[in-house]
Amino acid sequence: MELAGEFTLSGPPERVRSTLRDRETVGRLVPAVADFVPVGPGEYAGTVVVGRPPLGRSYPARLVVREDRGGDALALTLTGTGRAEGMHAFAHCQLRPGAQSGTTLLSYALTAEFGAISGLFASFAGRMVGDFFRGLDGELARGG
């Protein structure tokens, strides 16, 4: 599955980048992740909860946030495994100044692979991306 889009965020690229590198902020922003803790520089571990009972699933997960392309972009990788299912999502996020002063235009391209229950994940992934970027914008607007 592939998703792509753009979000205008309430902060300059440098602040967006530092917010995405802040472990406490990232832990709050990633939707459907419980017990999210840092395990290394730019690396986090937790549990991804997808769906609601009785069809919902929980997976051990790891998120890695890395600088990409000389610092003007970030690469985010989210992996989760469990039972016969699993998931792997890679997002490349390009950060550049927005049309309005003090804003950032974030362009993203997401590629995701899901295991046996791909329909459940596919519908969830689009919502998760939107929730993440809306939460990031709210954090930036509050001065985070």
Q: What is the CATH number of domain 2-141?
A: 3.30.530.20
Are 39 and 64 in contact, with CB atoms under 8 Å apart? no
pLDDT in tens, the chain (144 residues): 788 899 999 999 999 988 888 877 877 787 777 777 888 888 888 887 766 666 667 778 888 888 876 667 788 787 777 655 666 778 888 999 999 999 999 998 888 776 655 555 566 667 778 888 889 999 999 886
Residue ranges per structural domain of the chain: 2-141
Helix, strand or coil, per DSSP, at residue 139: helix
Helix, strand or coil, per DSSP, at residue 42: coil
Nearest to 86 by CA among 70, 62, 68: 62
| Tokens, residue 30 | 């990633």
Are 32 and 61 in contact, with CB atoms under 8 Å apart? no
